């Protein structure tokens, strides 16, 4: 039984076709430059050369049609007809306060996603385009939406409220939402499974460290707190996002340095973080290489990133009254031994002890703490697509 998972952005689209009988990825692909010159679809199937289709794609309807064509292509495809797609699962960034779990797509659900566009203006409108394009091309196939925010809806009020006038929350829903929820949910459940424990008996800190990064506190199997906020800008120092700063910096930039609101937005989201500090790159591989060669600003960027991650882990120990296990995931978390090592070194006072040999591993499930470590440390590769496919299957059943 195959589920198509779609993650639709404004000009790009990622997809995976997953056989849920054995959780095998039959095909995965990326469509880039939708609506702009140079549109291209790249499909990967294990054991085969990449299948690349370069053709104009004026909108998401055309892009989705090409995805379906690629999947059923006689030579390069993996299924014979569209009938072999049982359902489609869509990743949705923002579900507002209403969605605490995934949902079957109905008109009401689409309207709710549209309503939440105020909170995610770059993402939600693109997701709706993806859903509507699929509905047009596969009218009888059920669709499910899986929200990045849903897992975090269990946070207690004291964790998700900002110290602003209460009316702003009541009238405009200004609060912490949190993102990467599908990943935090997946890796926290997986680590409990790997440890052979009931997730309800564990206090877990999950560190999703990629280009965008967030840390979550998971207690009793539920999210208790998370570092991203009203938008994905809050929290850690990220690839190009600044994370926590004094909000007065924003008014200073506008009032004293004549920035417009949208320039500040771009500055904080796209020109800051380890990229803005190092002046080298937003890619941790480049920054680590530059720091090794003695680039001081690259070293500073890494120090800041590691310091902030350690601070969040420490603060979540205070939030939950202790930690049993720390999980590293996503691009940096799964691959960078040096980031994991330094972050854990900072936390030695809590009884975290990393096994340097075991820490050499990359991109696979591994326990990397020593036998004596009071807090266990694991690498758990994230798999948001599989999580979306599982939710989709559960709902259509």
339 or 367: CB nearest ligand ADP: 339
The reply on whether position 284 binds ligand ADP by CB under 6 A is: yes
Distance between CA 349 and CA 358 in Å, rounded?
Answer: 21
Between 211 and 295, name the residue whose CB sits nearer to ligand ADP: 211
Q: How far apart are CA 261 and CA 244, in angstroms?
A: 18
**201 exposed, middle or buried (CB, 10 Å; 0-12, 13-18, 19+)?**
exposed
Nearest distance, CB of residue 239 and ligand ADP, angstroms: 5
Binding-site residue total for ligand ADP (CB under 6 A)? 13
Which residue among 32, 283, 303, 341 contacts ligand ADP (CB under 6 A)?
Answer: 283
Query: 20 Cβ partners below 8 Å, 6+ apart?
Result: 1, 2, 3, 86, 389, 390, 393
Q: β-strands 13-19, 2-8: how paired?
A: antiparallel
Give me the residue whose beta carbon is nearest to ligand ADP.
331
Helix (H) or strand (E) holding 124: helix 124-137
Whole-angstrom distance, CA of residue 148 vs CA of residue 345: 31
Distance CA 69, CA 42 (A): 12
Distance of alpha carbon 13 from alpha carbon 19, whole angstroms: 20
Sites for ligand ADP among residues 209-238 (CB under 6 A): 210-212
89, 232, 239, 273: residue in contact with ligand ADP (rule CB under 6 A): 239
Written as six digits, the tokens of 174 are 């200004």
Minimum CB separation of residue 25 from ligand ADP in Å reads 16
Stretch that binds ligand ADP, among 55-63, 143-151, 284-292, 309-317 (CB under 6 A): 284-292
Contacting ligand ADP within 54-113 (CB under 6 A): none
Q: Please, is 300 exposed, middle or buried when counting C-beta atoms within 10 Å of its C-beta (0-12, 13-18, 19+)?
A: middle
Enumerate residues 317-346 that contact ligand ADP by CB under 6 A. Answer: 330-332, 335-336
Assigned token pair, 311: 């601070």
Work out how close the CB of 362 gets to ligand ADP at its nearest, in angstroms, rounded to a whole number.
Answer: 6
Contact region with ligand ADP (CB under 6 A), list: 160-168, 207-215, 246-254, 292-300: 207-215
Rank residues 177 and 284 by Cβ distance to ligand ADP and give the closer one. Answer: 284
CA 75 to each of CA 28, 125, 192, 343: distance values in angstroms, whole numbers, following the listed order: 16, 34, 42, 48
E-strand stretches of 33-84: 40-44, 51-54
Judged by CB, which is closer to ligand ADP: 198, or 345? 345
Q: How far is CA 238 from the centre of its chain?
A: 13
Nearer to ligand ADP, 77 or 232 (CB): 232
Which x/- pattern over 292-321 shows residues binding ligand ADP (rule: CB under 6 A)?
------------------------------
Q: Judged by CB, which is closer to ligand ADP: 135, or 338?
A: 338
Burial-class residue 84 by CB neighbours within 10 Å (0-12, 13-18, 19+). middle
- Comparing CB distances to ligand ADP, the nearer of 76 and 282 is 282
Catalytic center residues: 148
Select the span of 69-77, 99-107, 204-212, 249-257 touching ligand ADP (CB under 6 A): 204-212
Min. distance of Cβ 123 from ligand ADP in angstroms?
A: 13
Sheet order of strands, 2-8 included: 51-54, 40-44, 24-32, 13-19, 2-8, 85-92, 143-147, 103-104
Residues at the contact surface with ligand ADP, assessed by CB under 6 A: 210-212, 239, 283-285, 288, 330-332, 335-336
């Amino acid at each position: 039984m195959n589920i198509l998972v779609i993650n639709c952005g404004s000009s790009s689209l990622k997809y995976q076709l997953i056989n849920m009988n054995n959780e095998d990825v039959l095909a995965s692909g990326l469509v880039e430059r939708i609506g702009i010159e140079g549109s291209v679809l790249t499909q990967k199937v294990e054991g085969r050369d990449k299948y690349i289709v370069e053709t104009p794609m004026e909108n998401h309807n055309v892009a989705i049609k090409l995805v379906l064509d690629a999947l059923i292509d006689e030579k390069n495809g993996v299924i014979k007809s569209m009938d072999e797609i049982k359902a489609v699962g869509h990743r949705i960034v923002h579900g507002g306060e209403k969605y605490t779990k995934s949902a079957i797509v109905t008109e009401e659900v689409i309207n709710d996603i549209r309503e939440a566009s105020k909170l995610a203006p770059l993402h939600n409108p693109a997701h709706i385009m993806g859903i509507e394009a699929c509905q047009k091309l596969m009218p009888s196939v059920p669709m499910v939406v899986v929200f990045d925010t849903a897992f975090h809806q269990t946070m207690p009020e004291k964790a998700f409220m900002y110290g602003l006038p209460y009316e702003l929350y009541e009238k405009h829903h200004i609060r912490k939402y949190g993102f990467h929820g599908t990943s935090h949910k997946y890796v926290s459940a997986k680590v409990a499974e790997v440890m052979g424990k009931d997730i309800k008996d564990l206090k877990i800190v999950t560190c999703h460290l990629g280009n965008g990064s967030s840390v979550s506190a998971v207690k009793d199997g539920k999210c208790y707190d998370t570092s991203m906020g009203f938008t994905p800008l809050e929290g850690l120092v990220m690839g190009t996002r600044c994370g926590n700063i004094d909000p007065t910096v924003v008014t200073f930039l506008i009032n004293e340095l004549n920035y417009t609101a949208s320039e500040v937005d771009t500055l904080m989201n796209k020109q800051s973080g380890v990229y803005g500090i190092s002046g080298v790159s937003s890619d941790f591989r480049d920054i680590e290489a530059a720091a090794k060669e003695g680039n001081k600003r690259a070293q500073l960027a890494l120090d800041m990133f590691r310091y902030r991650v350690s601070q969040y882990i420490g603060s979540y120990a205070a939030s939950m009254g202790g930690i049993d296990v720390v999980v590293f995931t996503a691009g940096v978390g799964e691959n960078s031994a040096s980031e994991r090592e330094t972050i854990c070194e900072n936390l030695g006072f809590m009884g975290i002890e990393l096994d340097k040999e075991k820490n050499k591993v990359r991109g696979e499930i591994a326990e990397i703490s020593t036998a004596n470590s009071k807090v266990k440390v694991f690498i758990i590769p994230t798999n948001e697509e599989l999580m979306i496919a599982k939710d989709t299957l559960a709902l259509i059943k």
